[in-house]
Chains A and B, each alone.
Chain A
Amino acid sequence: MPDRYHIHTAATPAVFRRIGKFANVDWREDCSRCSNCVKLRCLYDVHRHESAFNRDPEAPGATLDECKACLSCVQGCTKGLLDVSVNPEFLSIGDAYWTPNIILTTWNQADTGRIPVSGAGYRGRFHGPGFDSIWTDMSEIVRPTRDGIHGREYISTSVDIGPKPLRLEFTPEGRMLTPPLRLLEIQLPVILDVAAWREQGARLAAARIAAAQELKTLAVVRAGEAVQALPKQLPYVVPVVAREDIANCRDILEGVRMAQLRDGADAVALAGELHSINPKLTVVVRLPLSPAAADRIIELNRAGIKVFQLCADQHGREKLGNGRHGRHIKDALREVHGRLVKEGVRDEVTLIAAGGIALAEHMAKAIICGADLVAVDTALLVALGCRVCRDAHPRTAEGEATCGSGELCPAETDSSDNAYATQRMVNLMGAWHSQLIEVLGAMGIREVRRLRGEVGRAIFMEDIEKEAFGDICRVPRSQVSA
């Protein structure tokens, strides 16, 4: 039996300035110095750290964000001088999709590699758009299952990239006609993608490649960045190749197992050229997620392309051109998956869902909606301190990216230590892996391959709302607030 897949996480504290949720503990004048100070009794030592920081600016400032807003100090102070408030800087990071809470939990997971655990129940909105309108199933009494991440039985998270024939064909003499399988197996249903929405330095590509090697998955890099990979890293590198790159990348293309190219009129011809350089190469076509995606995939499949990366925007939406957005990736994926099933070619193609995969649950839900695996990009930057600030990231004279405020982008500046950046990416994926196993364990599913398209093991808000509340009369909100 092969070794059990294991991700080697290690505590890697952030070196960038973290932004705490409740950093703003303040107190007014009139302290009576009663020697009964609640600040000394803070369970998390927030006040003590803050005091140390005030005396010595060299003291670690990161501890200041440890306030949990338990309000014990606010309620216990003899003269009622203390107040805690939500840190406005915390609220300003990210955007409507990459919320401050998503960024914070990503930082925490990259710090430790651990699955986020907390007390009390769920704290968010009842449901929301996109992935927040799906719940995954669990198995109750009658279906055997495992014990989640603590289980004794192995839950596989490996996936295959490449066509899987529905049947084997033989000659009357018994010689197999079906060409040998060329499946590319990776141990995690995630590949590490390059974020399309912002410029990135080559250092991040190197970290991604090293992380992919450790994680036994793949790192997508620009063709020019692939040259920095060590020979032993090449099997984990996926260059994105254009026609003009071929001449310079021939050596690389001979060493890698997979390459990507952008969809276009000559995609099929280009794929043929790549195969002529490396016959074993798995060629992936990146195409924008759009209402025409299913038709295009069916067309390209007939022409021999078998692996597709469907690229949504960073909020997981279809790109309609001219800055307009369409359906969420969950709806688009269900349509594409359904079309491929109807055409009888679902197992001939592999779908990689990209764009808007911000949390481990998005990975599981995208697979339920029909993807074979996902590509993660922005979350890797967030792990290194990116706040998804959406600025143009102009570069300094030294070539370093800056945020709009002029501050150097933490994801780039602080990742100069390649081992640090790699470990934080590994940690994040380790935490995601554990969470995927929790979801699979709860469903009683032993391998992630079986999760693909399992919409019957998910609860979709539109359906369940109709089933549960369909017979209840509806009133507009304006009538209630009136």
Chain B
Amino acid sequence: MTASDTAVQAPVGVRPPEADSPRPGFSDWPQERVAREIRPAPDRYRNALGKYKVDRSAACASCGRCVEACQFGVHSKPAGYALTLRPRDSFCVGPACAETPESCVSLCPQHALTVRPNPSAECMGDPRWSSDLILATWHQAATGQPAPPHLESRTGAAGGGFDSLRFKFEVPGFDPGPGVPAGTDIDTGLDLNHRNDGRPQIHIDLPVYGGGMSFGSVSIHTILGKARAAAAWNTFTCTGEGGYHDRLKPYDDHVITQVATGLFGVREDTIQRVRIVEFKYAQGAKPGLGGHLLGDKNTPAVARMREAVAGNALFSPFPFHSVYSVEDHKKHLDWIKEVNRHCLVSVKVSTPTDVDMVAVGSYCAGAHIIHLDGSYGGTGAAPDIAKKNIAMPIEYAVPKVHKFLTAEGIRDKVTLIASGGIRTAYDALKTIALGADGVVVGTVEMVALGCVRCACCESGRGCPRGIASTDPELMMQMSLEWASQRLINLNYAWREQMVDALARLGMTSIRELRGRTDLLCYVSDEPVAAAEVS
């Protein structure tokens, strides 16, 4: 499936790529320009999944009344067709429409139509990534527009963290405030260098960039799709710890080279060709445990890039066995800064109880970006016990670190990026309100590409949906162009929601939102405690 040519104009406030602007990076490779425009990128499967299932019984007389009644495009009967086509039930909005007298169900003279919850959709997801969230993300990736109201697109059903936080403007009873006048230009961009150390400033147009996913853990189409979307949106994606694929070179200016403990595929060249280098100390989903690429996924192509033997399981140890102090850490950062004298350095750490001290240590060692990866983040494979239990969720870590850096007087000298369970545009906004500058996302990109969260990324041939697999047959389920467009569209939808929320909050820049916990409220299940401000 490829994207059609129907482009939609960029919304107000989004800076299109400037045709004659000087090249921002240092890559010697010609850089591809990727258009930042919405193009429809519908579901790549034959039967798109919806929240509801529309059944048409044999009593249907193909009279076409349903086609006239439905404003959502569920029913169609093209000219010259004798029979009405199978309902496109993914468009159906459910009982909100079906129970009205104007619905197809009510108007069908044969009573041949019924609407019911889709049992298959109910099999998708989990409390953190509810079925609604997955379907809403698919809608955004397909259309570039926020999800329709019948899908809950802001929060999951996990009962805590982001799902217990709301902006006050979302809750009845709070004064929504004046907002900003319609048409005001609202800036969602972010500068990443606050150290004033003579290194270049890097500006990204969204407070979001893509997390590290190695070649091996995901397919080349997934990696390149992320890179092309990052190029279109003037933001970044990250190599993960799998080396730097040659096909990433046209997007060098938007790629972060990750240096992780296994040092797979890390060479001077891969550090020198990018604008940001990331040191990965730990990963939120398996903090303190290192990485593990199962032997099945270590195909000859993967092994070549990692300079390893195909078929062998590959471990990234934990921690860097050369780093046991902040001084050792500084030595590492100095090494990178020496190899690439123009890059910014990001430090990715997990969220232990002393995450605030770790953040200060990273600042002192010279990091431009401190990237906190919370414990509920995604992974290609991790022990279940680690995913659930080790280290704190990002919702707790961000305010802890933000307050500590502020108290230390260094908050404005470092960029704080958070990841690990950021699923929606509203999660991103809440993270920023809790104290981060921006966010890194990973799982939501996989969901946009068709992931159903079946959690089988690691087994056998890998992802049955062809996203997190290097199996030659499985990965061909998805074209590069389609993957890129889904992610470009998702960014559009996210930006629109961010701009809308900032407008309601009376802000003209995402940077004004940082640390504004006064704009949030916490949904409590305890009525007595809820009456007080604790």
Binding site for B on A (CB under 8 A): 22, 43-44, 68-72, 74-80, 82-86, 105, 115-128, 134-145, 147-148, 150, 359-361, 364-365, 435, 438-439, 441-444, 456-459, 464-480, 482
Contact = CB atoms under 8 A, between A and B. Distances in A.
Interface stretch (B13-21, B299-307, B394-402, B495-503): B394-402
B382 A140 contact: no
B389 A135 contact: yes
Interface in B43-69: 43, 45-49, 53
20 contacts: A70-B465, A71-B124, A76-B47, A84-B119, A115-B383, A117-B382, A121-B128, A124-B127, A124-B388, A136-B390, A138-B288, A139-B319, A140-B358, A141-B323, A142-B361, A443-B288, A473-B518, A474-B522, A480-B171, A482-B172
A457 B353 CA distance: 7
Which 3 residue pairs spanning A and B have beta carbons closest together? A119-B457, A126-B160, A442-B288
Contacts of A360: 385
A460 to B, nearest CB: 10
Interface stretch (B106-114, B222-230, B245-253, B373-381): B373-381
A147 B291 CA distance: 10
Contact of B326 (A139, A141, A150): A141
Contact of A475 (B349, B387, B522): B522
B124 A69 contact: yes
B166 A480 contact: yes
B389 A439 contact: yes
B523 A71 contact: no
B506 interface: no
Given A43-B464, A119-B381, A457-B353, A85 B319 contact: no
Interface in B492-534: 517-518, 520-525, 527, 529-534
A96 B8 CA distance: 50
Contact of B119 (A83, A468, A471, A478): A83
Nearest to A471: B517
B413 interface: no
Contacts of A364: 389
Interface of B: 43, 45-49, 53, 86, 118-120, 122-124, 126-129, 158-161, 163-166, 168, 170-173, 281-282, 285, 287-290, 292, 315, 317-320, 323-326, 329, 349-350, 352-355, 358, 361-362, 375-393, 395-396, 398-400, 420-421, 434, 443, 451-461, 463-465, 468, 474, 517-518, 520-525, 527, 529-534
A468 B400 contact: yes
A468 B395 contact: yes
A123 B129 contact: yes
A121 B454 CA distance: 11
Contacts of B287: 138, 442
Contacts of B282: 138, 140
B324 A467 contact: no
A361 B385 contact: yes
B455 A119 contact: yes
Contact of B285 (A121, A444, A472): A121
Nearest to B285: A121
Given A438-B383, A475-B530, A144 B324 contact: yes
A301 to B, nearest CB: 32
A116 B123 contact: no
A143 B323 CA distance: 9
A71 B384 contact: no
Contact of B352 (A118, A137, A482): A137
A479 B172 contact: yes
Contact of A76 (B45, B53, B382, B525): B45
A120 B457 contact: yes
Contacts of A84: 119-120, 123
B285 to A, nearest CB: 5
Contacts of A72: 45, 464-465
A70 B159 CA distance: 25
B285 A122 contact: yes
B45 A140 contact: no
A307 B196 CA distance: 62
Given A121-B443, A135-B390, A474 B383 contact: no
Contacts of B459: 119
B279 to A, nearest CB: 10
A468 B43 CA distance: 39
A439 B349 contact: no
A86 B127 contact: no
A364 B128 CA distance: 24
Contacts of B388: 122, 124, 361
Given A75-B46, A138-B287, 15 more contacts: A75-B48, A76-B47, A117-B458, A121-B377, A124-B126, A135-B390, A142-B361, A144-B319, A361-B385, A442-B289, A459-B396, A467-B399, A474-B530, A474-B532, A475-B171
Contacts of B457: 118-120
A467 B378 contact: no
B517 A472 contact: yes
A478 B43 CA distance: 36
Contact of B49 (A74, A147, A444): A74
B123 A75 contact: no
A74 B47 contact: yes
B315 A142 contact: no
Nearest to B44: A75
A140 B122 contact: no
